[in-house]
Amino acid sequence: MDWVTGIQRAIDYVEDNITESIDYDEVAKRAYSSNYHFQRVFSVLCGYPLGEYIRSRRLTLAGSELAGSDIKVIDAALKYGYDSPDSFTKAFTRFHGITPSAAKQRGASLKSFSRLSIKLSLEGGNIMNYRIEEKEAMKIAARTKRFTTDEEINRRLIPEFWNTCAEDGTFDVLCGMTSEESVFGRALLGICSEDTCRESSDFEYSIGTQYMGGPVPDGYTIKDVPKLTWAVFECRGAVPQGIQEGWHKVYAEFFPASEYEQYSQFTFEVYPDGDRTSSTYVSEIWIPVRKK
């Protein structure tokens, strides 16, 4: 099943259960995907996390119901997933710009976030620089941390992890364990390692480099990456915009039209030495693939 069909099935499930407690694992199963991978691809393709979509749709429907019926604010809060009228009022006001009580007044101005409908857009003419490479097994030295599968939270926490590593000397330690002869040269890697358990509520994210020998300090781990075939995509532009645009093209343009599919739990973002704020900076995305 392609991602367009899978995501549409997942959205239909969300909409059918919009006033219920939504289990993200159940949503992902509609796309025959893991929770982690589904949330990541949804965010890449749609431009916002799944949690934001669900919240915006609920607040849209709540506004419509408050304006068009005699439902009480407390009942609307409970119906659309809020534990208290206060939390509902805060979220409603941020979204609509007015309170739920004001929404019940005639002529109230409300905002609407429409139901998502995924369609395949055939545009053509776009060029993606990529290559297919077979690489022997390698070792990666890394600092590792576990994160929730919630992409909305990760947009804040993973950059914070990078900032911490930049400030505490981690980058210098990692560079001391690699060399120019590594597969990636002297580059830092952002490594996502998905658990094989589909229902896992978190995943492992690492900042590392290819390990070329030497002592391993406390707080660092060595990861074994098996021999794999990789699709490597060139991303041009300042971080993070360049790499984000690259991910979108990978899932929106490359995989739908390619003879390859993604497999294995590892994905790499490769950040070579250089000015990462420059519009000409070149990073790479490495994804394990196999023929469909």
Give the list of residues 6+ apart from residue 28 with CB closer than 8 angstroms, or none: 10, 34, 35, 37, 38, 39, 198
What's the pLDDT at 197? 47
pLDDT score at 107: 86
Q: Check the CA dihedral 79-82-88-92 and report its sign.
A: negative
Q: Are 233 and 245 in contact (CB under 8 A)?
A: no
* Pairing mode of beta strands 282-291, 260-262: antiparallel
What was the pLDDT predicted at 128? 64
What pLDDT is stored for residue 199 in this prediction? 55
pTM score, two decimals? 0.79
- Residue 255 CB contacts under 8 Å (≥ 6 apart), including other chains: 3, 261, 262
Residue 105 burial by CB count (10 A; 0-12/13-18/19+): exposed, middle or buried? exposed
pLDDT per residue rounded down to tens, the chain (292 residues): 566 788 889 999 999 999 999 999 999 999 888 888 888 889 888 888 999 999 999 999 999 999 999 999 999 999 999 999 999 999 999 999 999 999 999 889 999 999 988 765 544 445 567 899 999 999 999 999 999 888 888 888 999 999 999 999 999 999 888 888 899 988 999 999 876 444 566 789 999 999 998 889 999 999 999 999 999 999 999 999 999 999 988 988 888 778 888 887 789 999 998 899 999 999 999 999 998 8
- 252 vs 43, 57, 280, CA distance in Å? 12, 24, 23
pLDDT of residue 255: 84
Going along the chain from its start, the domains and CATH numbers come out as 3-103 (1.10.10.60), 130-291 (3.20.80.10)
Q: Is 106 exposed, middle or buried (0-12, 13-18, 19+ CB in 10 A)?
A: exposed
